[in-house]
Amino acid sequence: MTPWQKEHLLYLEKTGQVDPTIQLEEEEIEEATDEVEVSEEIQEETDERVSFADRLPKIKEYRSKKLYQRLFLLILLFLLPLLGTLYYISPLSKVSAITVVGNQKVPTETIVNESNLKNDESLWAQFFNRKTTVQQIKEKAPRVENATIQIVHWNQLQINVTEYQEVAWLVEGKEYLPILASGYVIQEPQKEAGQDKVIFEGFKDKKVILRALKAYDKLPKEIQEGISQVKYAPTKSNDQLLNLYMNDGNQVIVNISNMSSQMEYYPQVAKEMDKKGVIDMEVGIFAYPYQVSESTTETKAEEKE
């Protein structure tokens, strides 16, 4: 109790207004309250000590984990260069074999030779240079449309090849040369031409061959099968002129640029013809039989003009 409260109680006791027992009880209550507050402070300090003691093993565990991580990194930093050196001097870093898959016409030996890939030489140096290697193969082996190089069986190089298809034959005297889908003529003469491909004649320029092939590819399948031979017949005024020899006996004169659009009318025009003859599609569309008189020829020429 405060001094003022004590003086007040004494005054009340002297005047007979307060029971002394009540004063004692109040003092006891106050003392008990003080003791409780002190015990709570002591308990808080004890809890803090116990809490820190509980956290101590976790701190040790965290520090140990960090130590092991740093140790692992140090070992890794020293171990990687050692492993790299061992790999570099081992046979695994050298090419043990070179294989070719996907080739049908081009011999495997030819592709390997043109690639300049070597056995018992650096695997990764040759692998990282694969774009240049593929370009060399395509330049020196015209049949190869595309190629990829991959690593198989740890230290072997595999060349995956895609070849151009043979789409036509080019007449050269009494021989036939295969024409690839790229327009390239392969110098591999054959005595006979296969029946499954159209025959080209009179072509010299690869670009003209390729344009004619693209126009031919746009034709419907039934019209393609009806063409037996495509002859390049340019004139001074028209360097795109073609003569198409049909399996049904007719002959079609048409430009390369409009062959796909004009030939759509061929079945109907051929059906209306009484005799086999020529269907001129160079300018417009008109037909006449093979055996015509001079006057008829002149009339057709006038109509054409």
Tell me, what's the pLDDT at 22? 47
List C-alpha distances in Å: 45 to 35, 56, 59, 168.
16, 17, 21, 99
Sequence length of the chain is 305
- Token pair recorded at residue 95: 């090419």
> Helix axis angle, 130-140 relative to 108-115, nearest 10°?
130
Whether residue 106 is predicted with pLDDT greater than 80 in this model: the reply is yes
Q: Give 242-297 pLDDT, tens digit per residue.
A: 999 999 999 999 999 999 999 999 999 999 999 999 999 998 899 999 975 344 44
Tell me, what's the pLDDT at 49? 52
Query: Which of residues 44 and 106 earns the better pLDDT score?
Result: 106
Query: Which of residues 37 and 139 earns the better pLDDT score?
Result: 139
Tell me, what's the pLDDT at 286? 92
Q: Give 15-68 pLDDT, tens digit per residue.
A: 665 555 545 455 555 555 555 455 556 555 555 554 555 566 677 777 888 888
Whether residue 77 is predicted with pLDDT greater than 90 in this model: the reply is no
Task: State the residue for tokens 């240079």.
Answer: 129
Task: State the residue for tokens 């392969």.
Answer: 186
List C-alpha distances in Å: 31 to 7, 27, 35.
18, 6, 6
Tell me, what's the pLDDT at 248? 95
List C-alpha distances in Å: 25 to 20, 22, 36.
9, 5, 16
Tell me, what's the pLDDT at 287? 94
Q: Give 197-221 pLDDT, tens digit per residue.
A: 999 999 999 999 999 999 999 999 9
> CA nearest 144: which of 153, 135, 152?
135
Q: Give 156-166 pLDDT, tens digit per residue.
A: 999 999 999 99
Query: Which of residues 209 and 74 earns the better pLDDT score?
Result: 209
Long-range pairs for 112-118 at CB < 8 Å and ≥24 separation? Answer: 112/159, 114/140, 114/141, 115/159, 117/149, 117/157, 117/159
pLDDT grade for 69, boundaries at 50, 70 and 90: confident
Query: Which of residues 127 and 302 earns the better pLDDT score?
Result: 127
Q: Are 231 and 202 in contact (CB under 8 A)?
A: yes
CA atoms within 13 A on the CB side of 79: 6
CA pair distance 246, 256, nearest whole angstrom: 16
Whether residue 76 is predicted with pLDDT greater than 80 in this model: the reply is yes
Q: Give 220-254 pLDDT, tens digit per residue.
A: 999 999 999 999 999 999 999 999 999 999 999 99
Task: State the residue for tokens 């036509």.
Answer: 168
